Structure 1
Amino acid sequence: MIPSREHIIKQLAHQFGFNYCGIAAAMPLDDDARRLEQWLQQGMHGQMYYMEKHFDLRVNPTKLMPGARSVITVLKNYYPGHKQKTSDFKISKYAYGKDYHDIIRTELNAFFEALKKQFGNINGRGFVDSAPVLERSWAQRSGLGWIGKNGNLIHKQSGSFFFIATLITDLELEPDAPLAKDFCGSCTRCIDACPTQAIMPNKVVDGSKCISYFTIELKELLIPDSMQGRFDNWMFGCDTCQDVCPWNRFAQPHQEPGFAPIPAILNFSSKDWEELTEESFKQIFRHSPLKRSKYAGIRRNIQFLQSAPDEPFEK
């Protein structure tokens, strides 16, 4: 029996380092467009002004790539096998190793080149969290999971510690069926655990209240005083809503060498972080997502955590 094009594509995706692969028909995301527009109008993007740009491209793949017929979505596990030794300055697990943009972009390009060898002169554009693409929506449409109450894509067998990448192509493919339901049920653990109450009803996350926003996206020199005592020692990003999610009991350590933790991430003591110089920061974290916050941002975050009141914040 000759394997289908869809089967070949999924085999190649695994061959080039991706854990899961799904396919959706390229069409406008009308429902997502309405939700995104309302989210922006309510100012939930804070100072992430880039979210306001290219709205029409975000919700219509044929405008990103004329002639698009299919959207191939791939997931890549980043759940680490080791944890930080100190909990005074916590770092989101996705940032333990090298910058995922570089690693996944290389693998996605190799994957697409293999598709062209297999299927001939096809066109396509790959996206890794750096262009106006609604990756989670495409992953959900491709049957790879459902959007949880915390806004993350959740895979039924493996949880939510995944990077998502998309490949928009003019290749005509049979789409996968989306999941018939989501499996969060009545669980509200992520909502209850969010330190800043950023997770709202109906799967809405107020990005302007998220710890990841304050510690990574916010470019101002000061974090608002109203957030003092709420960060639960998160210095860069936040995994609280994922850590408490019951579906992440299925998470398994990744097998990607590029995501191997930078030794300093695991081994730095509080004193090491406090005494870190800008020169050392640039050397140690030159390939790390931490460079996105720059040295000044990391210093700001550390000082903010140190200035927080001793009493934990109570909702």
Structure 2
Amino acid sequence: MSHPEKNTAIIKNTARQLGFSYCGIAKAEQLDNDARRLEQWLSQGMHGGMQYMENHFDLRVDPRKLVPGAKSVITLLQNYFPGEQQSEAAPHIAKYAFGKDYHEVIRAKLRHFLSVLNEEIGEIQGRGFVDSAPVLERTWAVKSGAGWVGKNGNLINKQSGSFYFIATLIVDIELLYDDSFAKDFCGSCRKCIDACPTDAILNNKIVDGSKCISYYTIELKDALIPDALKGKFNNWMFGCDVCQDVCPWNRFSKPHNEMQFAPIPEILDLSTKEWEEMTEETFRSVFKHSPLKRAKFEGIKRNLSFISQ
């Protein structure tokens, strides 16, 4: 067995042992097409107030600038589809935020992943990323054979839908590369486009981030949400899952088995009134390891006020 073949087997076996649902590998190279698309998206202001999207443009389109000498990009999928749902009285929270902050959970897995590789393969240079670094993870997921990017901008896996976190490991060793996912199985379906409450999904696989409910309820730091959006949030307090909930491919979603993503009881059960009566001290205690802390107590109160009007 050659070194690339042997090392690839070690990597895919380690991914399974760590509970990742998919592991695919692509050759590290500059993403010229994505550079053009990203530049156009930014120039049209579709990132809204997310100014960080403008930073480190050169790093986003070339993984070899993130990890000098990088030869391979490993894509890992982590299922987060919950087995439990919120009560009807609860303000809606995106499913990815039901449990512990995925950044904490997956970063720990990636650190362990790299330590295993250094033990079993030898000293390698590598970095792991999950959603908080200049990495075009959906492009790398497609290149590694994980699925295609749907009209709602989410990566869709043909066997199990789109309720996945995408993690990326960039390493400086050559490996066996998976075939890129060449087909698009969205076809003429428009369910996500037609269901989006704020018309954020355009008909050419572009999502106007500045119109997305997730942007307003998480990223927007202004004191007020524009009045023009009143009545359009459909009770979403943090994030939004509408475009995924209506996607036909998510009929294949199966509940995850990651204990750290088990729903926080308050997320499932608290009514709007109970959320409104919550103190900042309680919020910080209950949600100190939750993605909800990103919106902060003031942001949650603002969102509650907006959807209750």
The residue number in structure 1 matching 2:72 is: 70
Distance 1:239 1:58 in 2: 26
The residue number in structure 2 matching 1:207 is: 209
Name which of 262, 265, 274 aligns with 2:264: 262
SS of the residue corresponding to residue 205 of structure 1 reads: coil
SS of the residue corresponding to residue 213 of structure 1 reads: helix
Q: TM-score, normalised by structure 1?
A: 0.96
Task: Find out whether 1:26 has 2:28 as its counterpart.
Answer: yes
The residue number in structure 2 matching 1:12 is: 14
Distance 1:150 1:268 in 2: 29
SS of the residue corresponding to residue 238 of structure 1 reads: coil
Distance 1:266 1:133 in 2: 32
CA contact (8 A) 1:86 1:268 kept: no
CA contact (8 A) 1:193 1:244 kept: yes
Task: Find out whether 1:50 has 2:52 as its counterpart.
Answer: yes
CA contact (8 A) 2:24 2:145 kept: yes
The residue number in structure 2 matching 1:159 is: 161
The residue number in structure 2 matching 1:310 is: none
1:1-315 superposed matches below 5 A? 4-307=6-309
SS of the residue corresponding to residue 188 of structure 2 reads: coil
The residue number in structure 2 matching 1:313 is: none
Distance 1:298 1:38 in 2: 32
Distance 2:252 2:137 in 1: 22
CA contact (8 A) 1:87 1:233 kept: no
Q: CA offset at residue 306 of structure 1? A: 1.1
Superposition misfits of 4+ residues, deviation over 4 angstroms: none
Greater shift in the superposed pair: 219-228 or 9-18? 9-18
The one-letter code of the counterpart of 1:65 is: V
1:121 and 1:88, CA in 2 relative to 1: closer, same or farther beyond 3 A? closer
Distance 2:258 2:90 in 1: 27
What percent of counterpart residues are identical?
66
Q: CA offset at residue 175 of structure 1? A: 1.1
SS of the residue corresponding to residue 111 of structure 1 reads: helix
Q: How many pairs are equivalent?
A: 307
Question: Which consecutive unaligned segments of at least 5 residues does structure 1 have?
Answer: 308-315
Question: Which consecutive unaligned segments of at least 5 residues does structure 2 have?
Answer: none
Q: CA RMSD in A?
A: 1.1
Distance 1:19 1:182 in 2: 21
Distance 1:158 1:7 in 2: 23
Q: CA offset at residue 87 of structure 1? A: 4.6
CA offsets 1:58-88 (integer angstroms, 9 cap, x no match): 0000111110000001000000000111355
Q: CA offset at residue 4 of structure 1? A: 3.5
Q: CA offset at residue 8 of structure 1? A: 2.4
